[in-house]
Structure 1
Amino acid sequence: MRKIPIFSTIVAVAAAAVMVMLGFWQLGRADEKEAMIVASLAAAQQPDPLPWAEAVQLGEAAQYRLTTLPCERVLEMRAVAGRNASGQSGYAHSAICEVAEAGQAEAALGWSREPNGYSWDGGDVTGMITLTGPVELRVTASEPPSDLQPLAQPDPTDLPNNHLAYAGQWFFFAITALVIYWLAIRRRWRDEAKAAGAASQQ
């Protein structure tokens, strides 16, 4: 009579069950991310700028809304790789600003071909809010200073939503684990049958 090892079977089935649960969790995350993208697209279509104090209070919920960042003092200038509104590669110039309501915020000012030599004294920056900068809030200027070109504006459709693919991977892992375990059991049965046949011939 073929015997199924109880302990190893429980472990294999439990592991597969955990993988399936993770797959369904990723499906839920995919729905949440899709809802966030839809909400972000709606926010980007709002024509009225959000007051800066309200943007600070809303935090993540203020993403992709227009606002005016009051940069009271420039703490640091930065230049990182970036693209302009035409998609050309170059350098995005930004300022880490001191602001009363948020402590610090980043003003993404504009684009140039060269990384060095740009300075800015502060002031109001009107543009779209994101939370992707080195500090909590970032505003990408809609109209850059006269000596810079416009940066590529944040686009909610660029938000990654890979959760469906992750869910598929977890389901695939679960099926693969069960198939491998089943093949191992069958091989064990064949080995036992051969051993029993050899013993009966002696």
Structure 2
Amino acid sequence: MRRIPVIPTLVVGVLIAVMLALGFWQLLDRAPKKEAYLAQLAQNPARAPVAFPQAPDDRLLFRRTTATCRPPVTIRRAGAGSAGFRLIAECRGGMLVQLGTSRNPRAEVPWQGGAVSGYISHAPDHRSMIESLMRPRPQPMLLVLDRPAAGLSANPRPSTDAVPNNHVAYAVQWFLFALAAAIIYGLALRRRNRAVVERARPR
């Protein structure tokens, strides 16, 4: 009689159950919540303006806002995909303002701050994926100007297309991992049983 190893089978069974649970969690919990969140974000540009948040709050993404950028101001560049580079001003006190975009990697703008208006978005996060996982923290906010600073191209309009929504894909990945684990373990058991049968044959 072929015996199935109890402990390895239990370990693999638990791992498969965990992967399936993670898949259903992404599919039945995280995905609907993200859809509801995206629906809220799609309505945010039409809502009443709010003060620029002192602390990150993702519920305020794409809301219109006004603020004052206090000098001194330092300006840095960040990648903007097909738009080239975005120029971001850091105001006294730490507030960030996206001034506009440029295809010139050396673009400079003599902007000194003052009253600003636009919408709330995420500031670039330059941390590595590993650091983001090991030390999670809310992503800083910035104010994206309605009208770009002189010499720069206009900033993109707020769009939910820029917000990742990968939970269904994550669910599929977990289900595939579970299937792969089951297949690999099944093949390993089959090979083990063949070896047992071979050793049991009279010589």
Indicate the TM-score class for this superposition, using the shorter chain for normalisation: 0.7 to 0.9
Matched, 1:148 2:152: yes
Give the 3-state SS of the residue equivalent to 2:195 in structure 1.
helix
Give the 3-state SS of the residue equivalent to 1:74 in structure 2.
coil
Q: 1:80 to 1:58 in 2, by over 3 A?
A: closer
Matched, 1:92 2:86: yes
What CA distance in whole angstroms lies between the structure 1 residues aligned with 2:31 and 2:44?
20
- In the TM superposition, structure 1's runs of 4+ consecutive aligned residues that sit over 6 Å from their partners are none
Question: Which residue does 2:97 correspond to in 1?
Answer: 107
Give the 3-state SS of the residue equivalent to 1:121 in structure 2.
coil
Q: TM-score, normalised by structure 1?
A: 0.82
CA-to-partner distance for each residue in 1:13-38, whole Å, 9 max, x for gaps? 11111111221222222222222111
Q: 1:32 to 1:152 in 2, by over 3 A?
A: same
Larger gyration radius, structure 1 or structure 2? 1
Question: Which residue does 1:3 correspond to in 2?
Answer: 3
What CA distance in whole angstroms lies between the structure 2 residues aligned with 1:17 and 1:91?
45
What CA distance in whole angstroms lies between the structure 2 residues aligned with 1:118 and 1:21?
52
Unaligned stretches of 5+ residues in structure 2: 126-138
What CA distance in whole angstroms lies between the structure 1 residues aligned with 2:79 and 2:199?
67
Question: Which residue does 2:108 correspond to in 1?
Answer: 117
- The structure where strand makes up a greater share of residues is 1
Give the 3-state SS of the residue equivalent to 2:119 in structure 1.
strand
1:28-177 correspondence runs (5 A): 28-46=29-47, 48-52=48-52, 55-56=53-54, 59-82=57-80, 89-98=83-92, 103-114=93-104, 115-133=106-124, 136-177=140-181
What CA distance in whole angstroms lies between the structure 2 residues aligned with 1:179 and 1:58?
44
Q: Which among 172, 184, 198 is matched to residue 194 of structure 1?
A: 198
Shift of 1:169: 1.0
Aligned residues: 188
Unaligned stretches of 5+ residues in structure 1: none
Shift of 1:106: 0.8
AA of the residue aligned to 1:104? G
Relative to structure 2, which stretch is displaced further, 64-73 or 109-118? Answer: 109-118
Q: TM-score, normalised by structure 2?
A: 0.82
CA-to-partner distance for each residue in 1:110-157, whole Å, 9 max, x for gaps? 223433331211111111101334683201111123433211233122
What CA distance in whole angstroms lies between the structure 2 residues aligned with 1:165 and 1:192?
40
How many percent of aligned residue pairs carry the same amino acid? 35
Tell me if the contact between 2:19 and 2:174 (Cα under 8 Å) persists in the aligned partners.
Answer: yes
